[in-house]
Amino acid sequence: MPGVGVLISGRGSNLQALVDAARRGELGGEVAVVVSNVGSAPGLERARQAGIPAVFRDHRGKKREDFDAELVEILRAHQVDLVCLAGFMRLLSPVFVRAFPGRIVNIHPALLPAFPGLEAQRQAWEHGVKVSGATVHLVDEGLDSGPIVAQEAVAVLSSDTPETLAARILEVEHRLYPRAVRLLLDGRCRVEGRRVIVEGE
């Protein structure tokens, strides 16, 4: 069974969606370890509740490369095949990205390449777009810039606030992320330049 390592910094609702999908046998693998750079992240408790090793590793006072090397070591020790970023609020250095080539994914709460970076739902709302959504993408050395594995649109309503929009996007994230992870773990994705070709799609 392939192993997934999940990196978090907070709430961990996407982590929970991955754990739940794995439990139902719908992920194509299991969550082998959860690592947080924030000790109080509620996601760590979710992992413990699910009986998954939950590791807190503080990034403060460390060089980015040194912290990333520690993460790599933890993930390797748990024989992780795929790394999922799920609300992990740290930029990863080339040290990390090169340790898992083509095997790191992230979920972003907007339709990339629109609105990369922080508070994407608020950015989209403030821009006045009529459609936003969620994106699962491979992680490269840029910010939210890697090849796109899966996307789903969410209509922006006139009555929306950034918060109501974020809540509807989050529901989509919770079904999109496990599906995309499954495609990757099942070996159904092939990268051609910027394009991810999904078998049968």
What residues are annotated to the active site? 108
> Are 137 and 112 in contact, with CB atoms under 8 Å apart?
yes
Q: What are phi and psi of 28, to 5 degrees?
A: 80, 15
Enumerate binding residues for ligand GRF (CB under 6 A). Answer: 8, 10-15, 43, 86-87, 107-109, 170, 173
> Are 156 and 127 in contact, with CB atoms under 8 Å apart?
no
CB of 192 to ligand GRF, least distance (A): 26
Distance of CA 94 to the CA centre of its chain: 18
| Choice between 14 and 132, CB closer to ligand GRF | 14
The residue with tokens 């503080």 is: 58
CB of 170 to ligand GRF, least distance (A): 6
In sequence order, what are the residues at sequence separation of 6 or more whose Cβ sits closer than 8 angstroms to the Cβ of residue 26?
A: 178, 182
| Choice between 86 and 97, CB closer to ligand GRF | 86
CB of 43 to ligand GRF, least distance (A): 6
Which residue has the closest beta carbon to ligand GRF?
Answer: 87
| Choice between 29 and 87, CB closer to ligand GRF | 87
